[in-house]
Structures are given as C-alpha cells and as structure tokens.
Amino acid sequence: MDVIAKPALMILVFGLLVVFHEFGHYIVARWMGVKVLAFSIGFGPAMVTWRRGDTEYSIRWLPLGGFVRMLGDDPMAPLDDEIARDPMAFQNKPVWRRSLIIAAGPLFNFVLPLLLLFGSALVYEDELVSTRVGTVVPGGPAAEMGLQAGDRILRVGDVEVESFDDLIREISKRAGQPTPVTFRRDGREDTRNVTPREVVNAAAAEVGLVERVGRILLYPGEMVPTVAVQEGSRAFAAGLRSGDRLRSVAGKRVQSWGDVERALADSRNGNGISIDYTPLDLHGPVPRTAWRESFRNAHKGSEKTISLVSDDAKTTAGSLGLRPGYRLVGPVVQGSQEDTQVGLVPGDELLQLDGTDLGSLEDAIERQKKPLEAVLVEPSYRSWSPEQRQEHLQTAAAPHTLLVRHMIRDAERTRLQALAAGTVQATTGAEKWLVSQPQAAQLVERGWWDRPVPWRLKVQLDKNDRPDLALDLASLMDRNSPEMVRNPRPVRHAVQVAGEEFVRGATVILVTVRELFRGNVPVKEVGGVVRMAQMTSEAADHGVEAVVRLVAWLSINLGILNLLPIPLVDGGHLLFLAIEGVRRRPASLRTRQIAAYAGLTFLGILFLVVMKNDLQRVLMQ
C-alpha cells in the first residue's frame, strides 16, 4: 500500500471506531426518548455542519474523537428550570435508561469487532484448508503415529474435523493427552493414538498470559523436492548438492516429494534415471530486508541434468542418496547470531544438537527454546524488570553444540582450495575452522565436512524493552499450496471465528490493563494516534484481513478503556449512576465536580504520557 493510501486508511480506521462508539450513545438516547442536540465526529472548529430535526451534525477538524450532546446531560452542572421540566432531558430519565445510554458507546465497540470478524470470515473463508496431510515433520508426534502425506484426517477423538483449522483447534486442547485420531488412507479408515506435544505460547508473558497448546507437527502443504544429499552417494558423485531442487525425475515433472517417489517407482531399474534440477543460488548472508526476496529467488537459475543408475531391486530416493531437506538452512540474515556466531550458510544441514540427531530445523529451534520457556512461564516473571527478565533468560540459554554439514559448491571451491593452501586469509567462522584442520586440503577435495560449532541464544531487549527471543534460523524447505475445500458451514464457521478472536482480544487487553495499573507493564507501552498509525500501516502490508483484525482489537480496546471507572469517561458516569441507584438520589454537585477535576487531571497526565511515547516512537523510526 502506498504512502498516500496508508494515512487515508488510518483516518478511516479511527473514524470508524469513533463513529460506531458515538452512534451507540446516539441511537440508544433516541430510543430512550432523550433529545440529542449534537452529534460530532472530531473536535475543534466545524468543517462541515448540517441540521436534521433537533440534532446538529458536524465533522470537525481535529479527528481525535467525537461527542454526542444531549439535553441536560452535564452531570457537573445544575439543571435550569426549563430543562428540569422537560421530559426529554437526559437527567429526567430513570437511572436504568441513563445507564443504557452511557453503556451503549462501549457496547457498540464490542458489537463492531463481532460484525467485522464475522463478515471477514464469511467473505474470505468461503474455502478452507482441508484435512489432507501434506508434510509430516520427522520426529514429531504425527510421524511417530505413522501419518503420511496424502492421508486425510477425519476425526480427533470423537470430534469430526472438516478443515485444518478444526484439526488445529482439537489438537490444541489435548496437549500431553493420548488421543485417537482417525484418518483415511487409500480408501480405508484407520485409527491410531497420538500424544500431542505441549508447546508454550508465551508471547504475552509480560502480563501473565501463557498458553499451553498441543501440536503434532504436520502441515497441510506438501513439501517441494528440495534435496539433502547423502555424502558419497550416487547423487553426490553426479554433482547434486544439498539445497538443490529437483524439477523432473525419469521424464516426469515433480512438484513434491510424493511426485519424486512415484516417478522413481515407475522408472526401470538398471537404466539411467534422468534428473533435471536447479542448483541452490544463495551464497552468503543477506540484509534482513532482502530475506524474502532471497528465499523466492533461491532456485531461479538454469536447470541442469544428470543421469543416475540404480542397481537396487526397487529404486527409491534413499537408494540414490536423496532425502527431503527438513534440516537445511535457508537464507541467513546478515549480522544475525546464525551468521556471526554459528557461521551458517544457505544449504547447510543441521545434523545434531548436543550429540543427539535432529529431525528437522523445527526440532533444533524447539530444543533451543525449551529452557527459555521455563523462565517465561514463571508466575513471578511479570513482576520482574526488563533487565531482570533479560538476565534470567540469558542464564537459562545454556550453550549448545551444533553439528553442521557443509557441502562445497562449485562457486566456492576455488576460494576454499586457496584457503587450504594458505594463499588467502580466512574471514568467516567456517573458513577459520577449515584452515585450523590438519587435513583441510583433503576435506576440500572430498567436497564436504561436518563442523561442530557452539550455539547459544543471545537474549536482547528490543526497543520496547521486551526480551527478544526470536531466532533468525529459517528452513530452506518450501511447501506447495494446500488442498482447499468448500466451507461446509460458512455461517457457523464465521460465528466461531468471530467469537474466538473476540475472546482472545478481550482477554489480552483486559489482562494488559490490569497489569498496567499494577505496574507490571511499563507506561511506555501506552500509545496514541502515532502508535495506531504504525499498527495500521503494518497491518495494511499484510492485507485486508489483517486490517480487519486490527480494527477489531482496537475497538475492543476502546470499549474496555471507556468502561474503566474514571470520571469524565463512560465508566465514571456509570459508577455515579450505580451510586445513585443504590442511594436513590444522585451524588452531590460538589462531589461530582471534585471527581470531574480528578478525572480531568488523570486524563491530562495520560494525554501527556501518550504524546511523549508517540514522539519517542517517531524519533526512533
């Protein structure tokens, strides 16, 4: 989205939130028989004004909110005689009617996200990812129970699953619990037990929100045939290297590993098997901004062709020395730990961690983060300062030893030979390791080596003083688009999606507000218009659905904040109405005025804090 459209989108988002909130007050006031004098979007001088009936409508120059003014709605001022006799005056209505009018604004802020999320799911999710298995990660629970690519999952326990979202939802509930899973393979149904692995989602650990979910490590998209090559195999001798991507096998175009196996099964043993492939075209670390482009262009070069002969009774990828590249490293971010500390390059294969074989890159990341998750789930974590969180996490990040296999590609052979001969100087960690080996020349000659390297996750505080645990380790493996099926129950699905997202958003916001007042969330987290603009811009880069989700969360946030018992906001008005309902008479004018001054002071301080934080965000960009 361009630089002109993003500010316009920000204004639209903010305007929608304000309009819906004020419309709640307006429509319920009219319903309750209260005269509405003014309905305004924005503050300051009027830009556009028009009148209809008793109400003046206006759009004002400062888009920082809005207001609805009703006859006799100022609780801080005494009613004059004329208003006191008017049955359409706000203050002359029963407490319950006034409460409904005041509560309507925040309540409409809760209605808006439900409508948006429901509509988004209805429009954008008319097709769903099916339950057909595409990729089974080695070493995961799905692999241990024997699931294979092409299987179609029918039930989890006694619950029928119609989409991959249903599957995730049901598996997530069963972390650590043996669960029967029914699937169909080759027209026959089978049921086997699986125990979902517990995964800790502690992205909101600062406010005490820690989610434990079950995962069985499978994906709906089928793996593309990017290969890991066995050293000394027929494929290795023919010139294939780990990270290359197969394009055709035995004259048949292949787009997945299933295609490769089927093409080999149909080939004739003893004859040469023709393989077309695209070499990996990544050579070193890339800037973070270029990572996605590098990944997309990793196999854009010209195709090469080799011929392999198999003497086995049945030719398979394994008999030729080929296996899926589950453990292959993708583009490496320049300056990352994987670059400077470990010295990884694209196409490297991670074999072992601390002497134990790795099944996949996911396995390596999970085992690296496990001790850190134990710190994040500590109940006292939320009360620690950012520096204490960093210190505890860094202590938990124990050093590991990673065994990395590197296969030499033609583009680097000349330099490596010069390094082994001592005619050029080593610059990277891998090069320095190579020249330290007594048999460096022999390693280069044979075309591969296994290098043990220390690996310890470095924990840093980001610009928001949150410990950054993100790894830049990314897989070279890509997956094809998953199979899609028609949404069998679109309305029910949309209701479910809207409800789940609303509950998730409301929970995070409520807990964050609570921890903010307790002092466990730094005040610098509070943001205003600038923060909203940043979030809107980021969401716009990810499409319409991301913008809808952001508007939903902002609307929930606005509704919750307006219900806080602070004078001058809706929650403060409701508090005084509750007092009036109990005492059978309103609080004294003096009490209401003091409360108003206190509320005004609080809101003024909050405004200054928000402005300070927003200015810092602008200066830090």
Catalytic positions: 22
Q: Three-state SS for 458? A: coil
Q: What is the DSSP letter of 328?
A: B
Residue 462 CB burial class (10 angstroms; 0-12, 13-18, ≥19): exposed
- CA dihedral sign of residues 380, 386, 389, 391: negative
Q: What is d(CA 79, CA 85) in angstroms, rounded to the nearest whole number? A: 9
Q: Which helix (H) or strand (E) holds 315?
A: none
Largest CA distance in the chain: 106
Question: Across-strand partners of 468?
Answer: 460
From residue 361, alpha-carbon distances to 145, 265, 466 in Å are 20, 29, 25
Q: Which tokens hold the place of 248? A: 């055709």
Contacts of 595 (CB under 8 A, 6+ apart): 567, 572, 576, 587
Q: Confirm if 179 and 157 have CB atoms less than 8 A apart.
A: yes
Q: Confirm if 32 and 93 have CB atoms less than 8 A apart.
A: yes
From residue 337, alpha-carbon distances to 38, 459, 464, 597 in Å are 59, 11, 21, 53
Q: Three-state SS for 162? A: coil
- Give Cα 492 to chain centroid, integer Å: 24
Q: Which tokens hold the place of 329? A: 């490293």
Q: Which tokens hold the place of 218? A: 């499978």
Contacts of 95 (CB under 8 A, 6+ apart): 577, 580, 581
Q: What angle do CA 231, 344, 254 make, to 5 degrees?
A: 55
CB 122: neighbour CB atoms within 10 A? Answer: 17
State the pairing for strand pair 349-353/356-357.
Answer: antiparallel
- CA dihedral sign of residues 246, 251, 254, 258: negative
The interaxial angle of helices 570-583 and 589-620, nearest 10 deg, is 160
